[in-house]
A = this chain, B = another copy of it.
C-alpha cells in the first residue's frame, strides 16, 4: 500500500552530516566532517571497572525498568553541580535525565511549540536540533551570527516580525558549527531581549567543559531571574556519546511536561548508562579529568590551525575557537563552495561539511564549511590540512 506520511515528517531530510559520515567507512577518506569526541578521551579503564562493579553489586537495578525522571543519585549530583554554577534554583527548577541532549532539545520544542509557532536560532546552527524543531512543523528562523554571538539588531528585528515566537535556541560556548563563543555582554543583551519580547531561551551547552583557551563565561541560565531559560547539557563530550546520557534543567512546570513527553518517547534513559555516569562522577577527580580532555582538544585544535596557516590559500578565513570541536572556514565571496567540498572528498579524499547543511534553508548561499579536529588522528589532521590547502590554492590562488 502507499502510505501517506504526516506533513511534519514529509519535509524532513536525513541530516547531511550523518549522510556524509557514511563516507567515513571508505578507509581511504580522511574525515574532518564528523563531530565525534576524540576516542582517546574516553576513560575506558574507569568505564570497565565501574561497569563491572555495577553489574556485580546491583545487577537487577541496572537491568530493570526505572523511573522516567532519571536515576535519582545522578539527578541529585547534577542539581548540586548546577546550583554551584548558579544555574539551578531548587525552589523553582527541576531536572530530568534525557537520552542525550538531542532528546532534551527535541522535547523542549514538543512541549512548547504548536505547528507554525516560531523558533529563532543562530545561522548557522546545529543541524540535529534544527531538524528536531522542524519535525514539529515549527517556523524555524535563522538569525546571523557575529564573532561575539548572535546579531542583536537582527534578533530584535526577527522578534518584531515573526509570529508567535516561543523559543530562541542558542549554543553560546564554542558553537557548532562555527566554534564561536557568545560574549558576556551579548548574553546579557540576549536575555534582556528575551525579557522584552517575553520568549523562552533554550541554551544548549554541550561543549562548555571543553574550554582550552580564554576565560569561562557564565551561562545565560545563570543570569536568569524569571525562569526563562531551559538549559540542556550532555555527557557525550566529557564521558562518552554512545551511552546517550544528557540532561535538561528548567522551571518545574516545564520539566513536568518534559517528563510526560519522555515517558511516551522511550520510558527512561538506559539505566546502566545513567548508573555508569553517576559512579564516574563520584569516583573521578573531575577537575583533573576536564584538564586532561582540554589538553587533548587544545593540541588537536592547535595542530589544525597550524595546518590551515601553513597550507591554505590566504583567501580562506577561519575561526579560532577557545574550546569545543570545530573550526569554521570561509572561502572567498561568490565562489562555488559546493564544488570545493565535492572536489575535496572526490579528488583529495578529505571530507568536510558544506556550510549550508547548518542553515534553516539549505539553499541559502554560503561559502563556509566546517572542519572537525576531535575525531581525526593527529596524522590525519596534518595530512587533511595539506590536501585541503592544495585544493584551496588550486581554486583561489596562494
Contacts and interface: CB of A to CB of B under 8 A. Distances in A.
B244 A1 contact: no
A240 interface: yes
Interface in A59-87: 59-68
A190 interface: no
A198 B117 CA distance: 33
Contact of A266 (B5, B102, B253, B267): B102
A257 interface: yes
A134 B265 CA distance: 12
A240 B272 CA distance: 11
Interface string A44-55: 100110011001
A264 B106 contact: yes
Interface in A1-51: 1, 3-9, 12-15, 18, 21, 34-37, 39, 42, 44, 47-48, 51
Contact of A242 (B15, B66, B244, B251): B66
Given A64-B241, A66-B242, A1 B102 contact: no
Interface of A: 1, 3-9, 12-15, 18, 21, 34-37, 39, 42, 44, 47-48, 51-52, 55-56, 59-68, 99-100, 102-103, 106, 110-115, 117, 128, 131-132, 134-136, 166, 198, 200, 226-228, 236, 240-244, 251, 253-254, 257, 259-261, 263-273
Given A36-B64, A36-B65, 10 more contacts: A1-B226, A18-B67, A66-B242, A102-B266, A128-B264, A128-B267, A135-B264, A242-B271, A242-B272, A243-B270
